[in-house]
A and B are shown apart, each in its own frame.
Chain A
Amino acid sequence: MTETRPLFIPVVLGTVRQGRMSEHVARFVFGELTKRAGVESELVDIRELNVSTSDEGGGAKDERFTETVARADALVLVVPEYNHGYPGLLKHALDTNLKEYIHKAVGVCGVSAGSFGGTRVIENLLPVLRELGLVTIFWDGNFSSVQKAFDAEGKLTDAAYVRRLEKFLKELVWMAKVLRHGRENVTLEGV
């Protein structure tokens, strides 16, 4: 398969809370992703989205976010675990789009202060992503004890995350390439 267009894989920072440690994770993931040849990215902060909380679906759309998702080949979601669940505002923002997600890859980086690295929030999020039409990869990013994984300036203090994230990103890029090929060339007709 010859790729002439770079893959576009935005990183979505999925919390609006003050003092969010997930921002360090999102910036780290964004930095590692943009080191890869043939990949372009953009950091999407849901705090910056103009998404109405008194409407739903298309009525609450942030047009720029919708355009970003429409252009994307894959998404990385950086998601903190709040009481075992995902942030409600992330779900609300994701629900403003639908058509834009179909047959695109998604990987999730879970973030937690405890030792499980957001595994529970990832498990809770998977059925949502499936219903949106996204295709989940089998590697996750698990950032446990996140308050120790980065210093106050957001610099990574545990180098092991670089190798772990590399595996995650390789799988995501592979899936993004395969799904792009599928969207553009593999027809549903006659199947």
Chain B
Amino acid sequence: MTEREKMVCPACGVEMNLHAEKVDYADAAAEGEGFDPDLGGLVEEFHTCPRCGRTLARRAA
């Protein structure tokens, strides 16, 4: 996993917790950021705020 800046909760301003990665095969045709040729799709990261519970996603590096 590449080291990246932590996501920050837009509501609480605290660092969010990265707890999951998932391949999105539906967008496999878009070979942009996050596309993993070994896994055959775009990999997304899921981050949840420890204070308010909000979850945000971003493409993996």
Contact = CB atoms under 8 A, between A and B. Distances in A.
B44 A183 contact: no
A186 B19 contact: yes
Interface in B27-61: 44, 46, 48-50, 52-55, 57
A185 B17 contact: yes
Contacts of B52: 5
Given A57-B26, A99-B44, A188 B49 contact: no
B51 to A, nearest CB: 8
Interface in A63-108: 70, 73, 98-100, 102-103
A62 B54 CA distance: 19
A98 B55 CA distance: 12
Contacts of B17: 183-187
Contacts of B53: 5, 73, 180, 183-184
B46 A103 contact: yes
Contact of A182 (B19, B49, B54, B57): B19
Nearest to B51: A184
User: A interface, how many residues as a size bin?
Assistant: 10 to 19
Contacts of A183: 17, 19, 46, 48, 53, 55
Given A183-B17, A183-B48, A189 B55 contact: no
Interface string A132-147: 0100000000000000
Contacts of B24: 98
24 contacts: A57-B26, A73-B53, A98-B24, A99-B44, A99-B55, A99-B57, A102-B19, A102-B20, A102-B55, A103-B19, A133-B20, A180-B53, A183-B19, A183-B46, A183-B48, A184-B17, A184-B19, A184-B49, A184-B50, A187-B17, A187-B18, A187-B19, A189-B1, A189-B18
B18 A102 contact: no
Nearest to B47: A183
Given A99-B46, A183-B17, A183-B48, A133 B22 contact: yes
A75 B11 CA distance: 24
A182 B57 CA distance: 16
